[in-house]
Copies of this chain bind each other. A is one copy, B any other.
Amino acid sequence: MTTPAISPLAPAAFPALPAVGGVTFATAEAGIKYRGRTDVLLMVFDKGTEVAGVFTRSKCPSAPVDWCKAALANGRARALLVNSGNANAFTGKRGRETVRLSAALVAETLGCRPRDVLLASTGVIGEPLDPEKFRHVLADTAARLADGPWIAPAQAIMTTDTFPKGVSRGVRLGDAEVTINGIAKGAGMIAPDMATMLSFVVTDAAIAAPVLQALLSRSVRDSFNAITVDSDTSTSDTLLLFATGAAADAPRIDNPRDRRLAPFRAALDQVLLDLAQQVVRDGEGARKFVEVSVRGAVSKPSARRIALSIANSPLVKTAIAGEDANWGRVVMAVGKAGEPADRDRLAIWFGDLRLAHRGERDPAYDEAAAGAYMKGSEIVVTVDIGLGKGADRVWTCDLTKEYVAINGDYRT
């Protein structure tokens, strides 16, 4: 497989991420699958760090997902071990043994309890993951812990991602200035298996685990749960939010209704949305970043389902790849969503151009203007269902021949 070029939708550069008090990290080359690049990330957190997480809804989750779900009952974290190149998914009893041994190895190295160690893996499915790979590098990795640069962990967790993904926000929490740093790896598919979305977000705020969980579960709805590349759900999706409490003067928040949380909540929303959109920008073969905005639906959940029906439609996505303002396929995707819709009230815009109105082609439709708009790399599709006040947005990318090549050609 040739190394993919950087996605044309990638940000110009990895952003500057400041150090976050209470967390250090190092990466290593364990040779799990890749050669000549890092594939292991060890993050170490100060005592007292609390943690929350959300995971894939797959009924066939990976062994590390099962491990993290159990460990989160604890609400505490001292370390995070991540590897790329092998997902440790559908590996049966051996997979469960691998996560147990991996957590024990980290705990032994750092002097903490295994249940305070979170784990994530991304890569091939169905291949046993040998925990000895970790043993060989852990002591050396733990000896190199530092508080930067943050691009290193973002790189170590990449699979077929074409660029490392990170974001940082500073925000006031009570009288303290706190930082939220996040990294993610995205929907680049990894031969011979599927994508995994992993994201790790760290703040030096002091927030109780149940409050973190409430913040995360709410914020993920309009960020990581509002993106789709190809409608396929990984066995391994993992998003963890750590709060070290190391920021000077940071108040400990243990009530989710604490009013001081409002700016933090907004900053967390921005961090997750930024990371989620970076994942879309690195979708396999993507050349167009697409926002699908639905309004006038009977409810917000109905608007979400219609938006996802459009965003997941192969015919809509191939039309966008072909720079074709094919609003007829948007009508089709609205019609198949199974949600209340009235053909004769529908209106559809591509960008600011209204193409369809009251159930037929807009009389003012200008094919040349629509064609010019479709040549851009950022496309906004807006649909007004005309029935109610429900509105929602999701983000996706186009479906190109490169997607098929990345996911179908690597063995031929």
Contact = CB atoms under 8 A, between A and B. Distances in A.
Given A60-B332, A323-B411, A408-B400, A343 B90 contact: yes
A412 B322 CA distance: 6
Contacts of A399: 314, 404, 408
A270 interface: no
B328 A359 contact: no
A197 to B, nearest CB: 13
A36 to B, nearest CB: 25
Interface string A86-116: 0001111111000000000000000000000
A343 to B, nearest CB: 4
A407 interface: yes
Interface in A291-340: 312-315, 318-324, 326-329, 331-340
B408 A324 contact: yes
Contacts of A339: 59
A252 interface: no
A408 B321 CA distance: 6
A328 B193 contact: yes
A328 B92 contact: no
A390 interface: no
A231 interface: yes
A234 B335 CA distance: 8
Given A194-B329, A324-B192, A405 B410 contact: no
A213 B121 CA distance: 53
B60 A335 contact: yes
A358 interface: yes
B314 A92 contact: no
A409 interface: yes
29 contacts: A59-B335, A59-B337, A59-B338, A60-B341, A60-B346, A61-B335, A61-B343, A89-B328, A90-B343, A90-B356, A90-B360, A91-B360, A92-B360, A94-B360, A127-B361, A192-B324, A230-B315, A231-B313, A232-B315, A232-B333, A234-B332, A235-B331, A235-B332, A314-B314, A319-B408, A322-B408, A322-B410, A401-B404, A401-B408
Interface of A: 56-61, 89-95, 124-127, 189, 192-194, 230-235, 312-315, 318-324, 326-329, 331-344, 346, 356, 358-361, 371, 398-401, 403-405, 407-412
